[in-house]
Structure 1
């Protein structure tokens, strides 16, 4: 990817949007020390550059638990038998569409993938594991860790004070 030039005002806007994307443009502009038209133009540019992928609502799992149940969160290590690019990509293509898979990382050293999955309960996890992992002949090892408590969850990226950034 090409390096992208952004300045302190862009970083302020990105940081403000990470904290609360539901703010009006007027409020964002005021907090970022910009005029509303400038704020709007910059945010549009940040979206076009792909620095803002999407805007979502973060739901409160604890407050939804009485309605939906607490569910089961697992951190799952996956090691493949063969690690060629085509095998890694095939595994990703298999797991990414599953709504239970919230996050998927290729990692090194150690296992090939780390997944964060959320299922309704242990039978739901077992069905997911059988569908995505144990039925795949290239999966050599599966190691799951089940969350007892989520002490922190924050999707914000630390932006630092750099004038130029190159997204990965």
Structure 2
């Protein structure tokens, strides 16, 4: 179970700015959130140590790198014992085409987001990661025809 971290106004301002642009220097960030550079650096380090900031990454356009087919996949397992759920999650963690994996309630056991170059790549993924697994009972995939919103920001 995750523990919520208490954030003050300065922490929230830092997180808000960094969610828009994590490439800022510490001095630029400090100026935007109206604190000194040493205070800003100390705050960012604490947010990283506490796990509030998980990663600082570049968001790559799937279409520009040849992975423009997005699939939203529902997976239902035959056996939902804790170790079988964990086995499936571990297998999905190894699949680079699986960009997100959620264990969900009421309905399928998992919802995945996958990014692949084309339908042939999806079929290869589906065979390797879903149908070849002995515990997968049902796979239902929806393919995106238009992405109207994509955001990585978390409301703070």
The TM-score range, normalised by the shorter chain, is over 0.9
CA positional deviation for 1:26: 1.1
Question: What's the counterpart of residue 37 of structure 2?
Answer: 36
- What's the Cα RMSD here? 1.2
Aligned ranges for residues 47-58 of structure 1 at < 5 Å? Answer: 47-58=48-59
Can you list the C-alpha shifts for 1:101-144, whole angstroms capped at 9, x where unaligned?
A: 00000001100000000111111000000001001111010000
1:92-103 equivalence runs, <5 A: 92-103=89-100
The runs of 4+ residues in structure 1 deviating greater than 4 Å are: none
Specify the SS of the correspondent of 2:111: strand
**1:87 maps to which of 84, 89, 94:** 84
Match for residue 143 of structure 1? Answer: 140
In the TM superposition, residue 70 of structure 1 has moved relative to its aligned partner by: 5.6
Partner secondary structure for residue 57 of structure 2: coil
Residues 29-74 of structure 1 show CA distances to partners (whole Å, capped at 9, x for unaligned) of 1111111110001001100111111100012345x2xxx4463110
For residues 51 and 27 of structure 1, the distance between their equivalents in structure 2, rounded to whole angstroms, comes to: 21
Query: Where in structure 1 are there 5+ consecutive unaligned residues?
Result: 160-168
State the structure with bigger RCO (CA 8 A, min sep 6), 1 or 2: 1
Q: Tell me how far apart the structure 2 counterparts of residues 60 and 87 of structure 1 sit (CA, whole Å).
A: 33
Unaligned runs of 5+ residues in structure 2 are: none
